[in-house]
Amino acid sequence: MRNKELFERAQLTTPGGVNSPVRAFRSVGGTPRFITRAEGPYFWDAEGKRYIDYIGSWGPAIVGHAHPAVVKAVQTAATLGLSFGAPTEGEILMAEEICKLVPSIEQVRLVSSGTEATMSALRLARGATGRDKIIKFEGCYHGHADALLVKAGSGLLTLGNPSSSGVPADFTKHTLVLDYNNAQQLEDTFKAMGDQIACVIVEPVAGNMNLIKATPEFLNTMRRLCTEYGSVLIFDEVMCGFRVALGGAQSLYNIKPDLTALGKVIGGGLPVAAFGGRADLMAHMAPLGGVYQAGTLSGNPVAVAAGLTTLKLIQADGFYTSLSAQTAKLAQGLTQIAQQAGVSFCADSIGGMFGLYFADQVPASYAAMMQTDKDQFNRLFHAMLDGGVYLAPSAFEAGFVSAQHDDAIIAATLDIARTAFAQY
């Protein structure tokens, strides 16, 4: 009852009772769980029920919730003051760590959200090239900057509202929305207007229309065309950065973007995001150049303490080998259980990210993803929730595993899934 009471009360003062739409359970139905605390792979709701958590705050909790080292770093930083609005050594250490781990990033600017990171990268690409047109892909979500809220995935797709109201047509007339994993269409578009394209922005591993991996051909074509036409290639690694590999998706595909947007993991759960890349591009940023961007809490010392500690922890030997193995175990186990129950279902994973699909094969495009059975997903979601497993509350979101999801946790999850699929 307490969740229900809290949800009713929350709606009196906050639209939909939530501070981010996907949390409202609109896509899956039912009452959102109000979380009181989290530790390792678990979190607890206001009724004291424990869940195995596969959201991990949508990616940040990669080392597990309330990791002692991260909490200690935050506590120590907080005693020294919460925010100064002046440069700190911690921001240098953070920038150096990001540049070390993501070699395509020669210079980086810290911001407070993924939206700020992609919005700033877009403005930089337009400022540096003097061009207006941008290319994004249907089903990819890059935060809620106006120019990008066109057939975005994530919350908007979940709400069945492929583009946001309140965004004037003028703000999106330069945004071309193409099909993810369609290299030929990209080729044709550049042939037609490549000299007008400021940038291409892409999730190299898409996680906002559920999980879809880019094909190497798609990304290599993008890289070649951007180089040929002088357009900026922006990899939005807010979700997949430090999630699929230590060097992000770009290290797996061995492709060097011109700019990268980062977030989530680099804040370890506190508000840190970043954009960065080629030094010649970043030199356009104020106060050096004419592209303006600013932020009161950019590089906040307490948030940087959480992020820096997390970045150190993920560099432990074998961290991603183990994380990838555990995530694959989950995906393969769920697929096996569903197929034994005669349910048309499959799952995929990469690094610490996974996708669940009520379909015969893993979708490779937005159109294929939209063909998956959303109602069947919603049934699974609630059966798992009742059993104590918290999946993303939408058929169009990816799932996340932490370093604390050990064999016992995966086995417990699969036991609950066995019961769930038996009801199909």
Told to check if 114 binds ligand KE4 by CB under 6 A, we report yes
Can you tell me which of 25, 51, 58, 358 binds ligand KE4, judged by CB under 6 A? 58
Bridge partners of residue 202, in order along the sequence: 235
287 cis-preceded (ω within 30 degrees of 0): yes
Binding segment for ligand KE4 among 29-37, 200-208, 279-287, 372-380 (CB under 6 A)? 200-208
Spatial contact of 345 and 357, defined as CB atoms under 8 Å apart: yes
Q: How far apart are CA 34 and CA 7, in angstroms?
A: 8
Residue 409 CB, nearest distance to ligand KE4 (Å)? Answer: 22
Told to check if 236 binds ligand KE4 by CB under 6 A, we report yes
Can you tell me which of 60, 143, 269, 276 binds ligand KE4, judged by CB under 6 A? 143
Structure token pair of residue 371: 């063909």
Q: How far apart are CA 23 and CA 321, in angstroms?
A: 31
133 is catalytic: no
Q: Give the distance, in angstroms, between the CA of residue 360 and the centroid of all CA atoms in the same chain.
A: 25
Can you tell me which of 208, 260, 293, 372 binds ligand KE4, judged by CB under 6 A? 208
49 is catalytic: no
Binding segment for ligand KE4 among 79-87, 140-148, 341-349, 370-378 (CB under 6 A)? 140-148
The torsion defined by the Cα of 53, 58, 62 and 64, in degrees rounded to 10, comes to -40
Spatial contact of 314 and 248, defined as CB atoms under 8 Å apart: no
Quick check: helix, strand or coil at residue 367?
Answer: helix
Q: Which of the residues 136, 151, 264, 329 is marked catalytic?
A: 264
Told to check if 306 binds ligand KE4 by CB under 6 A, we report no
Residue whose CB is less far from ligand KE4, 338 or 353: 353
Residue whose CB is less far from ligand KE4, 20 or 371: 20
Structure token pair of residue 289: 């150049």
Told to check if 141 binds ligand KE4 by CB under 6 A, we report yes
Told to check if 397 binds ligand KE4 by CB under 6 A, we report yes
Residue 118 CB, nearest distance to ligand KE4 (Å)? Answer: 6
Cα separations (Å) of 402 from 55, 89, 211, 323? Answer: 9, 29, 17, 7
Residue 392 CB, nearest distance to ligand KE4 (Å)? Answer: 8
Told to check if 118 binds ligand KE4 by CB under 6 A, we report yes
Q: How far apart are CA 381 and CA 359, in angstroms?
A: 16
Spatial contact of 273 and 116, defined as CB atoms under 8 Å apart: yes
236 is catalytic: yes
Q: Which long-range contacts (CB under 8 A, 24 or more apart) does 48-54 make?
A: 49/388, 50/388, 51/385, 51/388, 51/389, 51/390, 52/388, 52/389, 52/390, 52/405, 52/409, 52/412, 52/413, 53/390, 53/402, 54/354, 54/389, 54/390, 54/391, 54/392, 54/399, 54/400, 54/401, 54/413
Binding segment for ligand KE4 among 135-143, 174-182, 210-218, 414-422 (CB under 6 A)? 135-143
Residues numbered 153 to 172 that lie near ligand KE4 (CB under 6 A) are 154-155
Residues numbered 69 to 108 that lie near ligand KE4 (CB under 6 A) are none
Tell me the per-residue interface mask from 11 to 50 with ligand KE4, x by CB under 6 A, - otherwise: ---------x-x----------------------------
Q: Which residues bind ligand KE4 (CB under 6 A)?
A: 20, 22, 58, 113-115, 118, 141-143, 154-155, 203, 207-208, 236, 238-239, 263, 273, 397
Catalytic residue numbers read 141, 236, 264
